[in-house]
Amino acid sequence: MIDLNLLREDPAAIKASQRARGAAESLVDEAQSADAAYRKALNEFENLRAEQNAHSKLVAQAPKEEKQALVAAAQELSARVKAADAAAGEAQAALDKLVWKIENVVIDGVPEGGEDDYVVLKEVGTKRDFGFEPKDHVALGESLDMIDIERGAKISGSRFYFLKGWGARLELALMNLALDQAVEAGFTALITPTLVRPEIMAGTGFLGAHADEIYYLPADDLYLTGTSEVALAGYHRDEIVDLSEGPLRYAGWSTCYRREAGSHGKDTRGILRVHQFNKLEMFAYIDPADAEAEHARLLAWQEQMLQKCELPYRVIDTAAGDLGSSAARKFDAEAWVPSQQTYRELTSTSNCTTFQARRLNVRYRREDGKTANVATLNGTLATTRWLVAILENHQQADGSVCIPEALRPYLGGATSINPKN
RNA sequence: GGAGAAUUCGCCUAGUGGCCUAUGGCGCACGCUUGGAAAGCGUGUUGGGUGCAAGCCCUCAAGGGUUCGAAUCCCUUAUUCUCCGCCA
């Protein structure tokens, strides 16, 4: 949620952000008056409560014969306190409802507009001139016996698959390469729960507009997470974390589950868009003043991984309207996919500033001893989707796939994956 | 799945309806003492809300309830532990 102080002091900034996102500006005015009403109601309740507390002391100390009269007065006061309490509670609920609808305030420089209004920040690497008709990852996965989509569908339905042989090994190699890089950079490795309680799902903002993207287990009232970000963000919920030795950085590995409810007919071929995949996610808790610098670092680590996998890619600055509600800025790195002659997202990194931490109540102690909300940031370091780009970009004319050097130590030193016959 | 016990400040702990504006210890911080340290002594030490401020309000796992008044009584939920049962 947004900072209420900002709502009081600089509502114009929030309005500008809402405008850039194409979201309702009127929410800001509504929230402001709800805030004023809440504070008024709270004040009335607190004054009455103070009166009641004082009166209660009189009752306790009064001699027996006076007690009855005092209690009678207290009863009447008690009723008024109860009413004021209820009114304040309602005012707060009304305020919360409005405030929760306001999305994070975008950072200056984020392009305005929607999905197609991104700005390309850079293009790195060269797209290969194959000199032959490159196969797509489905054909490669099949001929190299790495990806079995048919049997995936037989077992679990569409958008499921088996990774087999070199496919399974390549996936684990990729995850291990990413994990080792993260650990070397100072991240703490975490394997996270993938089933979480409703309040964690809601707290991380995933139960909002995209609730139908999420698998839910009604018998247990648990949600399957679409990213370990959920568990990583919830990890320090209701805590005052120690940032005196620098930011807390976690590298969370988990399987991710997504219903892909809104994408029927989109990317139906192959493993580009699937219901279940693995992901290594970076997550940082940091002093808000350092958040933008950390965002740049996360992006740099992502680029490092892409370069280790020897993939041509570009980096885009996502437009305001295409940001998640928690993100104040988002960079995506997209790898070139030869069979589609287009760039496809392999990583995404969001700076959530204090928005997510405020909702999850994660704070740190500042140098002046006061507590304040931390900033949280997240970013992908590897996912199953990377296999698509790796297979397609490194395929050879003879149908084999050359293994990027950085991955070889994780694959017993193998240099290429070859067809059986 | 069944039965029982527990949850109080970073940690341990006192507390069975008004004197709890929550006890004591450990730890931590600051001060005194010291050549310096330890010990000792003293002071401080949960967070949050609201207000220009003084202050006031909330916070004893969470949420409800009873009561003029709840850490304390009742209900629900969560978590932990013990025992029994079941089990890949």
* Residues A166 and A272 reside in one and the same domain: yes
What mean pLDDT comes out for the span A95-117? 93
Average pLDDT over chain A, rounded to an integer: 92
Q: Pick the residue with more confidence: A308 or A240?
A: A308
Lowest mean pLDDT among A133-147, A187-201, A337-351, A387-401: A187-201
Report CA torsion sign: A160, A165, A168, A174.
negative
Give the per-residue pLDDT at A52. 87
Query: Of the residues A68, A101, A134, which one is the last residue of a structural domain?
Result: A101
Q: Pick the residue with more confidence: A272 or A244?
A: A272
* Residues A63 and A174 reside in one and the same domain: no
pLDDT higher than 80, residue A254? yes
Rounded CA separation A267/A273 (Å): 6
* Residues A202 and A71 reside in one and the same domain: no
Question: What is the nearest nucleotide to A86, using C1' and CA?
Answer: B64
A281 phi/psi in degrees, rounded to 5: -120, 135
* Residues A289 and A153 reside in one and the same domain: yes
Q: Identify the CATH number of the domain in which residue A22 sits.
A: 1.10.287.40
Give the per-residue pLDDT at A368. 78
Give the per-residue pLDDT at A76. 86
Start-end of H helices in A228-268: 229-234
Domains contained in chain A, number? 2
For A161, residues 6+ apart whose C-beta sits below 8 A from its C-beta are: A147, A148, A149, A152, A271, A274
Q: Which one, of A100, A117, A108, A96, lies nearest residue A17 by Cα?
A: A108
What are the CA-CA distances from residue A281 to residues A119, A239, A358 (Å)? 24, 21, 21
Whether A108 is covered by a domain: the verdict is no
Q: Give A88: exposed, middle or buried? Use CB within 10 Å, 0-12, 13-18, 19+.
A: buried
* Residues A48 and A178 reside in one and the same domain: no
pLDDT higher than 70, residue A201? yes
DSSP string, A260-305: -GGGTTSS-STTSS-SEEEEEEEEEEE-GGGHHHHHHHHHHHHHHH
Question: What is the nearest nucleotide to A370, using C1' and CA?
Answer: B47
Give the per-residue pLDDT at A421. 64
pLDDT higher than 80, residue A24? yes
* Residues A167 and A67 reside in one and the same domain: no
DSSP string, A61-96: HS-HHHHHHHHHHHHHHHHHHHHHHHHHHHHHHHHH
* Residues A153 and A263 reside in one and the same domain: yes
Q: Pick the residue with more confidence: A368 or A187?
A: A187
Bases of chain B within 7 A of a CB of the protein:
18-19, 21, 47-51, 56-58, 64, 68-69
Eight-state DSSP code of residue A221: T
Q: What is the pLDDT of residues A153-183, one digit of tens each?
A: 999 999 999 999 999 999 999 999 999 999 9
Amino acid at A365: R
Contact status, residue A103 vs residue A18, Cβ threshold 8 Å: yes
Amino acid at A95: L
pLDDT higher than 90, residue A203? no
Q: What is the pLDDT of residues A298-352, one digit of tens each?
A: 999 999 999 999 999 999 999 999 999 999 999 999 999 999 999 999 999 999 9
Whether A107 is covered by a domain: the verdict is no
* Residues A149 and A32 reside in one and the same domain: no
Q: Which one, of A349, A340, A329, A333, lies nearest residue A393 by Cα?
A: A340
Footprint of strand B on the protein (CB under 7 A): A 4, 39, 42-43, 45-47, 49-50, 52-57, 59-60, 71, 74-75, 77-78, 81, 89, 240, 363, 370-371
Report CA torsion sign: A230, A291, A22, A317.
negative
Task: Specify whether A385 is catalytic.
Answer: yes
Give the per-residue pLDDT at A72. 82
pLDDT higher than 80, residue A202? yes
How remote is the C-alpha of A69 from its chain's centroid?
59
Give the per-residue pLDDT at A397. 95
Whether A271 is covered by a domain: the verdict is yes
Query: Of the residues A70, A101, A132, which one is the last residue of a structural domain?
Result: A101
- On whether ipTM exceeds 0.90, the answer is no
* Residues A235 and A313 reside in one and the same domain: yes
Whether A173 is covered by a domain: the verdict is yes
pLDDT higher than 70, residue A188? yes
Hunting for tokens 């949280």 — which residue is that?
Answer: A376
* Residues A283 and A325 reside in one and the same domain: yes
What mean pLDDT comes out for the span A56-60? 80
What mean pLDDT comes out for the span A261-279? 90
Whether A380 is covered by a domain: the verdict is yes
Give the per-residue pLDDT at A257. 95
Contact status, residue A327 vs residue A349, Cβ threshold 8 Å: no
Query: Of the residues A67, A101, A135, which one is the last residue of a structural domain?
Result: A101
Contact status, residue A411 vs residue A169, Cβ threshold 8 Å: yes
Q: From the CA of A78, how many Å to the C1' of B18? A: 16
Q: From the CA of A144, how many Å to the C1' of B46? A: 61
Whether A167 is covered by a domain: the verdict is yes
Amino acid at A336: W
* Residues A269 and A410 reside in one and the same domain: yes
Cβ-based neighbour number of residue A382 at 10 Å:
29
Catalytic residue of the set A159, A169, A329, A385: A385
Start-end of H helices in A26-63: 26-61
Listed ranges A108-122, A189-203, A228-242; the one with the highest mean pLDDT:
A108-122
Confidence of residue A261 (pLDDT cuts 50, 70, 90): confident
Full residue range of the structural domain in which residue A221 is found: 115-417
User: How large a percentage of chain A has pLDDT more than 70?
Assistant: 100
Eight-state DSSP code of residue A338: G
Whether A281 is covered by a domain: the verdict is yes
* Residues A349 and A203 reside in one and the same domain: yes
Whether A110 is covered by a domain: the verdict is no
Rounded CA separation A147/A122 (Å): 32
What mean pLDDT comes out for the span A385-413? 97
For A344, residues 6+ apart whose C-beta sits below 8 A from its C-beta are: A272, A334, A335, A337, A385, A388, A389
Going by their DSSP bridges, the two strands A363-365 and A240-241 should be labelled as: parallel
Rounded CA separation A380/A390 (Å): 16
Q: Identify the CATH number of the domain in which residue A128 sits.
A: 3.30.930.10
For A109, residues 6+ apart whose C-beta sits below 8 A from its C-beta are: A317, A329
Give the per-residue pLDDT at A207. 79
Q: Give A167: exposed, middle or buried? Use CB within 10 Å, 0-12, 13-18, 19+.
A: buried
DSSP string, A2-18: --HHHHHH-HHHHHHHH
For A303, residues 6+ apart whose C-beta sits below 8 A from its C-beta are: A124, A313, A315, A333
Give the per-residue pLDDT at A242. 86
